[in-house]
Amino acid sequence: MALAAGTRFDHYEIVSAIGAGAGGPPQILCDSVGPVLSGTWNQDDVILFANQGSLHRVGAGGAVSAAVRTPDKSKKEAAYVAPWFLPDGRHFVYLAGSSEQGRTEVRAGALDSKDDKSLFAVNSQVLYAPPGYLLFVRNRTLMAQPFDERSLSLTGDVFPVAERIASNPSVGFGAFSVSKSGTLIYRSVDASETSELTWLDRSGKKLDVVRTTGNFINPSLSPDGNRVALETLEAARDIWVIDLARGTNSRFTFDPANDIFPVFSPDAKQILFASNRGGAWGLYAKPATGVGAEQLLQKGPQKSRNE
């Protein structure tokens, strides 16, 4: 069985699907306010999923979902994501995001209790692997932490399992999963991974390709067509600028917070971007030359990108 989020034009739905070998169409379980970031399913057909920053519960037969964990904004908690059931089907671990840098952590909780236990700080989803480990990504390394699921206690030193794991710490994602039998699957990335920017004409015909070292997303072309601003997929997001005429790229932002979604001003003299500096998202501007101070244009409320 699988859990997924489907979209109807005006809202989202949580659906379950059974493999083609077993037959049967997907089943709608409940409506959702927004996209589902992650979910977990226990042996008693209870499903936990993350939605709009909170953890929700619904039965596998379908019903109206109920929130079981909601962030405490007074403690600068931003969002709860990535729930994962432990073997007993009653306890689970989840990622508790914070609007304060370095305060996001994994916690252990139970369906019938609100007394959650803080385990350790991490910016990755955490999965349980038999016979007794918690798996997570730290600095693109898949790590294992010995763990006793009965006492919800860490029982040994953390150690590496695999290197160069694809990950996105800003949303608590690591490209790995593990089965109940202990089979592990993960996706690794080459340290010299390149991104490819492709020029297309209006008919979709490929005209040219620009190759860059690194893993970039969200490109923004300058009005004169000579430069591209991009967002890099690293431990913390930063903005880089590619000079298409010279074939060079240079780092544009250096703050340890996440700097995302760059866009050139109409005169190409400024680059605007979003950043969660100081624990709240805001809009910033900086001279496109890369020289000069960044200017805060507008500050938002204390919210996480996961919300």
Mean pLDDT of the chain: 82
Looking at residue 61, its pLDDT comes to: 81
What residues pair up with 249 in beta bridges, in sequence order? Answer: 242
Average pLDDT rounded to a whole number, residues 175-188: 90
Query: Is 278 or 225 the better-scoring residue by pLDDT?
Result: 225
Question: Which residues belong to CATH 2.120.10.30 in the chain?
Answer: 2-186, 194-299
**Residue 9: which pLDDT band, with cuts at 50, 70 and 90?**
very low
Looking at residue 197, its pLDDT comes to: 81
Whether residue 72 is predicted with pLDDT greater than 80 in this model: the reply is: yes
Number of Cβ within a 10 Å radius of residue 298:
9
Whether residue 304 is predicted with pLDDT greater than 70 in this model: the reply is: no
In terms of average pLDDT, the best of 35-39, 56-60, 89-93, 233-237 is: 89-93
Whether residue 179 is predicted with pLDDT greater than 50 in this model: the reply is: yes
Q: What is the DSSP string of 153-196?
A: EE-S--EEEESSB-EEGGGTEESEEE-TT--EEE-B--TT-EEE
**Residue 184: which pLDDT band, with cuts at 50, 70 and 90?**
very high
Looking at residue 33, its pLDDT comes to: 62
Looking at residue 202, its pLDDT comes to: 86
**Residue 32: which pLDDT band, with cuts at 50, 70 and 90?**
low
Looking at residue 154, its pLDDT comes to: 96
Tell me the fold of 194-299: Neuraminidase (2.120.10)
pLDDT tens digits for 85-139?
A: 999 999 999 999 887 777 889 999 999 998 999 999 998 899 999 999 999 998 8
Which two three-digit tokens encode residue 259? 């700097």
Looking at residue 227, its pLDDT comes to: 92
**Torsion sign over Cα 5, 78, 236, 288:** positive
Query: Is 225 or 62 the better-scoring residue by pLDDT?
Result: 225
CATH: 1.10.3720.10, 2.120.10.30, 3.90.1310.10, 3.90.180.10. Which one for 2-186?
Answer: 2.120.10.30
**What is the percent of the chain where pLDDT is above 70?**
82
Nearest to residue 290, comparing CAs of 245, 241, 231, 256?
A: 241
List, in order, residues 6 or more apart from 128 with CB less than 8 Å away.
84, 85, 86, 87, 93, 134, 135, 147, 149, 178
Nearest to residue 36, comparing CAs of 16, 47, 52?
A: 52
